[in-house]
Every structure is written in structure tokens, then in C-alpha cells.
Amino acid sequence: MAFKKAVKGTILAGGGALATVLGLSQFAHYRRKQMSLAYVEAAEYISEPVNREPPSREAQLLTLQNTSEFDVLVIGGGATGCGCALDAVTRGLKTALVERDDFSSGTSSRSTKLIHGGVRYLQKAIMKLDIEQYRMVKEALHERANLLEIAPHLSAPLPIMLPIYKWWQLPYYWVGIKLYDLVAGSNCLKSSYVLSKSRALEHFPMLQKDKLVGAIVYYDGQHNDARMNLAIALTAARYGAATANYMEVMSLLKKTDPETGKERVSGARCKDVLTGQEFDVRAKCVINATGPFTDTVRKMDDKCATAICQPSAGVHIVMPGYYSPESMGLLDPATSDGRVIFFLPWQKMTIAGTTDTPTDITQHPIPSEEDINFILNEVRNYLSCDVEVRRGDVLAAWSGIRPLVTDPKSADTQSISRNHVVDISESGLITIAGGKWTTYRSMAEDTIDAAIKSHNLKAGPSRTVGLFLQGGKDWSPTLYIRLVQDYGLESEVAQHLAATYGDKAFEVAKMASVTGKRWPIVGVRLVSEFPYIEAEVKYGIKEYACTAVDMISRRTRLAFLNVQAAEEALPRIVELMGRELNWDDNKKEEELETAKKFLYYEMGYKSRSEQLTDRSEISLLPSDIDRYKKRFHKFDADQKGFITIVDVQRVLESIGVQMDEYTLHEILNEVDLNKNGQVELNEFLQLMSAIQKGRVSGSRLAILMKTAEENLDRRVPIPVDRSCGGL
């Protein structure tokens, strides 16, 4: 009991109490650790990158094949794996990295997009008097500050509001949030503050106002996770690491240690997924950084290895930007089942999540309708009744698998610590498991430290604190203005390029096509409502994009923002990639179908289609049915019982509106349940019923038909704009 009180004093009072708890020798070690976390410009001790630009994938494959032995081979191209490669290569170690899919294709691209220290972990540290949880938060807050420093183009501080609905919660949460600031110390982004009810509603006008007492605002970081992961990989490649995506490890290589007579891991048999070619990559040390697939690689080394990871699924949804203020997030600290829900602005949209449920390990996790509705219900609890939270406003949804370290004493995944574990097997395989996005760098440092020690590698200390990631060094908040002035890009497009590529945005701008318009001069968009341009497809290939899925989900973030928009952009993306990569017609068709399947299953399109199936019930009032039948028959003039592209074109032409055949085909296909090329009356009534129930919103066909009906008599030409395209 005395120990617990001392630990509590540690958390509340700081270093003096900590020395009392740990003893002088342990405290000295702890202080050395904390001092090592202090800001040092480690980058000053590293020579310039050996490559001005990352070598091509083909060049990297040749390096993997022709190098007799690497010092370090990293398996896994997520944030942790790429962090390990960057840490190793900047210490002067000959480094290789292989990833069986694309960089950041798994958990690292499916996060909540936050760079955080962990407010709830600090709460657990205090409530359970857990010094390890406290240390984890302290370390994460340092890493948060470092990540914001080394990739300023991809990350920024974000204020997050904690609404208070009971008076007693105000001092309770205020103390906790202030402790969060205190633990951050010099790494505190901005000081937290309290808002009155009226001020809270000014900042977050869509907030539920009944019984609202006030709010507390604190700051964490937010980033573009997939692009951040890619920046780490590209930086490692520029410093000399041989990195290759779509390289699958088929088996681990082993050789007998002449001194001990024991088998030691000495590399891996790798297969190029794109060509089928196999070859050996030999290394003194092999690092397993495969996230949820950690135990799969461990069992390659030892079939009897005990599983150390317990996967947990986290689902997120994306909704239109009008659901949240442009620069203020929301935290629900206690949902109906005890989980934490974030509601955040991201890329001019609103991201909500996450869930936390045990799951099976799969390469292709699918968001369930149950999880999507759980998040929507929690969002409804915090938003004003004036805001109708509709299922149809879900523009995208995805599931990510967290690689949590198993605690046998834990009853559920919510209480499993995000602390990381570095494990070294008898044969020398080093596994890094657990952790979280924010601490990827310190996890990599600990892993390479362990590798150097256990394999007698010759290298110095870690040099990644303060080391700028690709695009960050010469970035400035006003860089986009030069893009507008020098190249004639739209301001929105220029801001997007600067925030995505940093100081490399000029290289993308140089590749941009002329629009043929007075303004913008260059920068043809892939879809009208998003700032992604065709030049990014060409540049994405230089960033190791090999498939259409790579382009819509990780080089651009279209699939994560709006699956309908991503699907619309696909034909042009495939055409551009095919031209650059010499794809034949069969390959183009294969890429198109694979990408559509990805959108359907992994990005929420499946859930959307389930809202409107041929088994859907029509629950409309008789008066509504009559009204919608009349609207339908204005298009079905010859009473066929269905409408086709020709029918829609005829009506649009009569009111002076022109739409290309491809766009019309896409619009009808959204509602054509039996995919017979026509929309029957029954399908149209099911659509209107689903819209009334809120299961579907922003249907382009419904909006188009209503607009056309209103203008048939007047014959006034009007523009028909694309709606937000909800799921």
C-alpha cells in the first residue's frame, strides 16, 4: 500500500517522489533515459542522404539480389518496420526491408490519424498507480513532439473538445487534462483550457446543448498516416536502405553457428509477388516487424512458438465535413460500452471511431454493419437533435487490426497495454510487437539496440530524433503560394500538394498537365470535388506504387475519404498507370476489378450496397408512392416499367442539360440492383424508401430525377452537380 501511495505521488508530484519510489540507482537510470528523450539534433551527425531521390523498385530488387549479406533485414513495411530500417541505415548498418503488400497497406494506414500520448493511458496510470503506463505516456508525448517536428507538412496540432454534461465531471476531467499537459512538459503543444457552455457551442455549434455544462479543450497531434509511413520508407531508401514492397517472405534461412553448434536465422527466402521470381536475401540479423502477423513469422522460425499477439479490430467511418468544425475535434470518453470514440475533422471530412473488439487475423479486414451503426449511435448522443445523423452519410468505412501484446491476466482487449515488446528467439530472430503509431521511432530504436547487442553489430547510437522525413526539411506554411504563383495551380490543389509532399510538391507540379483553361493553368483533377490531380499518379509510381489500389488508398487517400469518388477516378488512374508501367488491356482490366473489389469489401461499399438490396422493403405512404410513380413515369414515357440511359438522356436534353454516357451509366448502376442495365420501378421505389429512412443519402439518380421533374415545365437549363455521394 505504501508503494502504491509513493507511485501516486510520483505521478502527481514529479521527479522527487519518483526518486523515492525507485531508489537512487534506478532513478538515475530513469533520468538518463528521460535525458536521452530530450531534443537533440541527431540529424547533424548524419551525412546527407546517399540518394537525392529514392532508387526505383527495379534498382532496389537488384540490390537485394546482389548483396552477399546485409547487416539487418527487416520484414514488414508498416510504420514500425520502416522505422527500424531508417534507424538501422542511419547508424551505418547495411539495411534491407521487404513487405509482401504495399507500404502501410495494413494497420498503419487505418488508424484514427492521431499522434497522441494517450490521455486514457494516463488516467489508467493514475487510477491503477501503474508506473509503466506513466512512462509510456511520457515517452509517447516526447515522440509526438518529435514527429510533428520532423514531418511538419504531414502533421499538425489539433484541439480536441471534451464536452461536460455533469458538474462534478468538470474538476475531475480538468485535473486529468492538466496532468496530461504537465507530463508533456516542454513538449506540450498548447495548454488546455476550459470553455463555458456558450463558448463551447460557438466552437462546436453542432454539439448537443441539453444539459451541457461546459467543455475542456486539449491538444494532440493529427497526421496523414499512410503518407507518413511512406515518408519514413522513402527516407530510409534515400539513406541507402534496400526497400521493396510486394516482396513476400516464403521462409526463413538458417545456418549453424560454428561456435555453439546451434541454428541461427541468417536471412529469408523472398518472392516478388508481381513477377513470381524468388531469391534469397541473407543478413546477420532478421527483424520481424509484421504487426498482426507477428506470430506467423515467429512460427516460421519455431513451429512451437507461443503466440504473443492478440489482434483487435478498430473500425472507423468517414462522414461529410459539415458534421464537425473545420479545426476542432471531439472526444467521447465513456461510450455506452466503455469504449472511447473520437470525432475529428480530417482532410476536410469528418472521421469517427474507433471500435475495439477481438478479431481473426486477415490481410483484408472488412468493416461490419454492426460496428458502423455503433459509431453512428454514439455520434448521435453528442450531436444536436437538429443534425440528423444518417447511415447514408457514411462516405467510407474501414477496419484496422491492432497488434496488441497479449496479457494473460487481461479479461478484454480494452485493458491490454499498448507497450511494445522486443523478443529475441533462440535462433536470433528479433521480434518487435505491440506499441502504437506515435511511438514507432522509439520502438525502432529499442529494436535496433537489441539487434546490435545480440548480433554484435558495429554501430553507434540512434540518430533519428530530429531527423527530417522526406518532404519536411524545406517545407513552410506558405510554400503553397509559390506553387500557385510559379505553376498556375488552383489554391486548393497547391495547399493539398504542399501538405502531402512537402518540399517535393514542386516535382509533382512540374509533372502536372495543362488544363487548357484560363485558370488554373495546370493541374487536371482526378475527380472534381477533391484536390488530387493526374500528376500524382505519375509521381506515385516513383514512390513505389505498383497497383491501382496503392494509388487510391495510400498515395492519394481517395478510398478513405469517399469510395464513390474513388471508383469514379479508377478508370483514369488505371489508364495513366498503364501508360507508365506498360500494362496491356488484360492487366488494366485486372487492376480495375481488383481495385473495385477492394472498395467493395475493405472500404465500406459492401455495407452501402446492403442498405439497398433486392430484398429491401418498401415502406412508403400511398401518397408518396403515387408521387414517386409520377416522377418515374416522366422518364419512362412509353410505360415500359423501367428506365435506361436513353430515357434519362432524353429528359435531360429537353431541359438543356448535357451529361456524358459514362457518367449516366455510373449513376444508374448505383441503383440497378439486378445489374441488367435498367432501373425498374420497384428498384426506384426501394431507393426512395431507403432515402426516407436515412439508410441512403446523396443518391445522384434521385437528385437528378427530382431536379429534372421540377424543370420539365419551365424548360430552364440548370447545372446538375454531383452530390456528396454517401454510402
- pLDDT value at residue 396: 95
Say how many C-beta atoms besides its own lie within 10 A of residue 179's C-beta. 19
- Could you give the angle at which helices 563-581 and 585-602 cross, rounded to 10 degrees? 150
- Cα(458)–Cα(151) distance, rounded to whole angstroms? 29
- Cα(449)–Cα(461) distance, rounded to whole angstroms? 8
Residue 262 CB burial class (10 angstroms; 0-12, 13-18, ≥19):
exposed
- pLDDT value at residue 461: 95
Q: Residue 668, SS3?
A: helix
- pLDDT value at residue 44: 54
- pLDDT value at residue 607: 65
Give the residues of the chain that fall short of pLDDT 50. 1-41, 43, 407-415, 614-615, 716-723
- The torsion defined by the Cα of 408, 410, 413 and 416, in degrees rounded to 10, comes to -90
- Cα(683)–Cα(612) distance, rounded to whole angstroms? 9
Q: Is the CB of residue 94 less than 8 Å from the CB of residue 199?
A: no
The 10s digit of each residue's pLDDT in 450-504 is 999 999 999 999 999 999 999 999 999 999 999 999 999 999 999 999 999 999 9
219: part of which helix (H) or strand (E)? strand 214-223
Q: Which domains does the chain have, with CATH numbers?
A: 57-109+227-307+407-455 (3.50.50.60), 154-222+311-402 (3.30.9.10), 478-611 (1.10.8.870), 617-713 (1.10.238.10)
- Cα(429)–Cα(565) distance, rounded to whole angstroms? 44
The residue among 524, 500, 498, 526 whose CA lies nearest residue 511 is 524
What is the grid cell recorded at 324?
464537425
**Torsions phi, psi of 125, nearest 5?**
-60, -40
Residue by residue, DSSP assigns 615-666 as: T------HHHHHHHHHHHHHH-TT--SEE-HHHHHHHHHHTT----HHHHHH
Q: Is the peptide bond before 171 cis (omega within 30 degrees of 0)?
A: no
Give the bridge partners for 277, in sequence order: none
Residue by residue, DSSP assigns 301-355 as: H-TTPPP-EEEEEEEEEEE-GGGS-TT-EEEESS-TTS--EEEEEETTEEEEE--
